Amino acid sequence: MSKTRISADGERAGKAQDVSRARGIGNDGRVVPAGRDRVNRSTVSGLRRQVRSSWLACGATALVVALSASCGGDRAPGQQAFPPGRQVAERYGCTSCHSVDGSRRAGPSWLGLYGSEVKLADGTTVVADEAYLERSITEPSAQVVAGYPDSMPTRALSGDELVEVIAYLKSLGSGADKPEEPKE
């Protein structure tokens, strides 16, 4: 068996020490000695990179909502932090791409969407009623909004979750309240 000395910070050194006592090889390629419970700087840096990339992929909003809800925020006891539909949208990461304030993101804004006329990529126009919203959520590639990529993932929402999200979208105002879509 090959013997390698392992320094206190997990680096390989020149003299003999039994590698069989090592816990394994870490993500950064370093040998992790058995019985060592401390995390080295390289591992922390790797975790930070993973968290940053996950944060960007999933959206920071979901984390902020989760932290706010767990801390209680400024709501009265027994009062929900957000409408159930918003909680569902946050949980599935919908607000990473769809804004509720009219700003442009990867997907169209939900502000004033319900009841508005929506121009589709195929040149047709539809009214954003409950049927359109349901189909857009369950079959996102069926009716893609003009000016946006066909990149929305399919999510497996339960019937109750779908009803809650649609109710939330309706609560964000009707097409009559909708501001002009910001230009790129």
pLDDT digits (tens, 9 = 90+) for 60-105: 444 444 444 444 444 445 545 578 999 999 999 999 999 999 999 9
Give residue 19's pLDDT: 45
Say which amino acid occupies 94. Answer: C
Q: HSE of 136 in the Cβ direction (CA atoms, 13 Å)?
A: 23
Which residues, including other chains, have CB under 8 Å from residue 128's CB and lie 6 or more apart?
A: 113, 114, 115, 116, 117, 118, 175
Q: Which residue has the higher pLDDT, 73 or 155?
A: 155
What separation in angstroms does the CA of 69 have from each of 39, 66, 107, 161, 171?
30, 5, 25, 19, 20
Give residue 68's pLDDT: 44
Q: Which residue has the higher pLDDT, 157 or 48?
A: 157
Homologous superfamily, domain 60-177: Cytochrome c-like domain (1.10.760.10)
Give residue 66's pLDDT: 46
Quick check: 25 pLDDT over 80? no
Quick check: 167 pLDDT over 70? yes
Quick check: 152 pLDDT over 50? yes
Most confident of 26-35, 36-45, 134-143: 134-143
Residue 103 contacts residue 182 (beta carbons within 8 Å)? yes
Cβ atoms within 10 Å, residue 22: 19
Give CA–CA dist 82/167, Å, rounded. 13
Give ∠ CA 41-46-52 in degrees, rounded to 5.
125
Strand partners, 6: 12
Quick check: 181 pLDDT over 80? no
Question: 51-55, 132-136, 150-154, 174-178: which range is least confident on average?
Answer: 51-55
> What pTM was computed for the model?
0.54
Using a pLDDT cut of 70, give the percent of the chain over it. 51
Domain extent listing, the chain: 3-45, 60-177
Give CA–CA dist 114/170, Å, rounded. 5
Concatenating the DSSP letter of every residue in 73-106 gives: TTPPTT--SS-HHHHHHHHTTGGGT--SSS---S
**Mean pLDDT for all residues in the chain:** 73
Residue 48, token pair as written in the block: 């930070």
Give residue 174's pLDDT: 80
